[in-house]
Structure 1
């Protein structure tokens, strides 16, 4: 298909407007089209895949002389849309995640190894989030080796593993060390290199168990009141209340489908994505009411059967954990609750605290949370201060003197 940059830009802009995109987003697309035309030598130049590939690499800001994540996202987005139109004759506006899962190795051997690791994880049925984290660490290590001019795993040694972990600690919080070690080790075992596994085992990383933070009763009431009185949209209220009451993970809130709601029984039937365990959750009347209001009056018209969809085009399911965090944080701020890192993890802790105070049995809490092992639930016992105080033994009379 022969098409000029001007013609291609016009097709894309029309598709964006037909899909209901905001004018500010269309304006960003137009800026990218103008930048492409300037790079190619004019609007009348033909657009070809090779031109798009070269343009997408122009990620250095001329103003700062440094890498620009905005350029990478905007240019890459337009090139993907343009290439899809050349191939299919249809403008594909599918949402892609910013960042794309981190850096990837470029060498043939390392690319093949990373692909084999991803295939192995998928074959074993690991949860999507687990595959993402394991894969990201493995690819980061291979990219680290390439940066050291190592292109064959046979040339890597235990010292490279330790140096890689040290490089991450320069960018990641110290509290993540345990997670880095435990989530990087499976890949090293997959390579069959026992010396690399021995090296990661040398890293002294202990799991830090802290008392999970919870929302105090007064702030919790403010949030519920904001959701009930319409201070925030019915969608945002539903997401926040579901996280607060049920402790659902962000991935399960994103994956919730219309058929999962039992309106008569006020129940949710959820297949938890992390564990694959089915669970049925009771939902309070307020949450059901907000869900119904959202679906009947505020939810955009879309063929997507996920309950929660984007409020701006394209009206598809929410993209990732960050989308849920943004919704909950926005609700907390609207309720006047500040000074807390509001997200599903905090509200998950809160749901457990409420269940413990209601004397719900630990096996039941474990099932609701979707823990593969009941022992994982024990850390939440520390949030029930009143019952912990009842376990404190009195000081013997002789010890007081």
Structure 2
């Protein structure tokens, strides 16, 4: 096998063309291959994994002298493709894992405990994103213990739990510490260590429910008009309108399958990622029309079962819920809405507020939003400012003097 940069580069470009990548994207890969070739001069243009690692680390722009996210992405992706061909003889065009690979505990007992925790979550059918979050915090705690010289689970104590939470504050916002505690607690319950659970309770991390600003009716109309006028793709319009009309979570929109849509009945039926509960929702005619146009006219030919796919090759399902956030923001900007920070969380609050203003009972709103418990809907009461004002008691006479 010819392992020169030129030879492997030709194979990579051919694979990209066969997969239907856009010419602009292929052009960017060609540019990166050219720069990789310059680096390979020192070893007769032969590509090795070590050369690739050196190339991927070149993330500083020679023009500005600063870190370049674009170089980091382009060079890292190219090295991923080159390495896959070098080691397997085939170009791996699957989605590259995001972020750095997390460190794992080295202690045999901790590794066994982490594996058992993963198996337990799998057997209970927790959503993949939930498993990753719970496993990640458990793994970090075990590594924290090892850094403190502890390699046996029996030696872990309450002080280590509090110390671990304190170490998280370097990276976690104070308002998000409740999430860390809530995601760490199930692991300690799994181990049946009540002493560690008692220590966790001492953290007293509380969730802060901020009042989320709602969209003006004019902004909603502007976005709907933008979707109808073709200012964005049918995929992006369908995602935004679906979120705006139903208040679905981003993870549920991302994982929506073609089989979940009842085209004749005008409904969608799915199992929620967060709660595992089934949910059936009616689709307004405009949302249904945009979905149909996307599926029939724009959706790439693919064996993927998810409705919404990447516009650029590889045409696979969207990577995660963050992609939904990016799409919604893009639609708002394309519609001329520049001064509003949006995401599916804002649109979820907005949908709940519309139902409240229409006099819809809270249990009904809870069912529509797919809450596991009706009490979860109470947080959306903060969005109904008119009803909140009606709850304010008048001050007694002379109290303001």
Q: Shorter-chain TM-score: which interval?
A: 0.7 to 0.9
State the TM-score, normalizing by the size of structure 1. 0.85
Cα shift at 1:179: 1.0
Match of 1:35?
36
Cα shift at 1:184: 1.2
What CA distance in whole angstroms lies between the structure 1 residues aligned with 2:190 and 2:66? 37
Is 1:365 the counterpart of 2:365? The answer is yes
Cα shift at 1:260: 1.8
State the TM-score, normalizing by the size of structure 2. 0.85
Moved more, 159-168 or 146-155: 146-155
Aligned partner of residue 223 in structure 1, secondary structure: helix
Per-residue Cα deviation, 1:178-235 (whole angstroms, up to 9, x for no partner): 1111111222333454443333222121222333332122212211121122222211
| C-alpha contact (below 8 Å) 2:243/2:344 kept by paired residues | yes
| C-alpha contact (below 8 Å) 1:271/1:277 kept by paired residues | yes
Aligned length: 396
Q: CA 1:341–1:167 in structure 2 vs 1: closer, same or farther (change >3 Å)? A: farther
Q: CA 1:391–1:198 in structure 2 vs 1: closer, same or farther (change >3 Å)? A: closer
Match of 2:102?
103
Aligned partner of residue 245 in structure 2, secondary structure: helix
Match of 2:281?
281
Moved more, 253-262 or 86-95: 86-95
Moved more, 7-16 or 344-353: 7-16
Match of 2:230?
230
| C-alpha contact (below 8 Å) 1:60/1:68 kept by paired residues | no
| C-alpha contact (below 8 Å) 2:19/2:313 kept by paired residues | yes
What CA distance in whole angstroms lies between the structure 2 residues aligned with 1:317 and 1:62? 28
What CA distance in whole angstroms lies between the structure 2 residues aligned with 1:68 and 1:144? 32
Match of 1:265?
265
What CA distance in whole angstroms lies between the structure 1 residues aligned with 2:218 and 2:199? 49
Q: CA 1:158–1:392 in structure 2 vs 1: closer, same or farther (change >3 Å)? A: closer
Cα shift at 1:318: 0.9
Cα shift at 1:249: 0.9
Q: Equivalent residues in 2 for 1:108-119 (5 A)?
A: 108-109=107-108, 110-119=110-119
Per-residue Cα deviation, 1:33-63 (whole angstroms, up to 9, x for no partner): 8538846954664x6xxx5378448764485
Cα shift at 1:8: 2.8
Unaligned runs of 5+ in 1: none
| C-alpha contact (below 8 Å) 1:117/1:187 kept by paired residues | yes
What CA distance in whole angstroms lies between the structure 1 residues aligned with 2:145 and 2:23? 44
What CA distance in whole angstroms lies between the structure 1 residues aligned with 2:71 and 2:156? 34
What CA distance in whole angstroms lies between the structure 1 residues aligned with 2:113 and 2:69? 27
| C-alpha contact (below 8 Å) 1:365/1:377 kept by paired residues | yes
RMSD: 3.4
Aligned partner of residue 317 in structure 1, secondary structure: coil
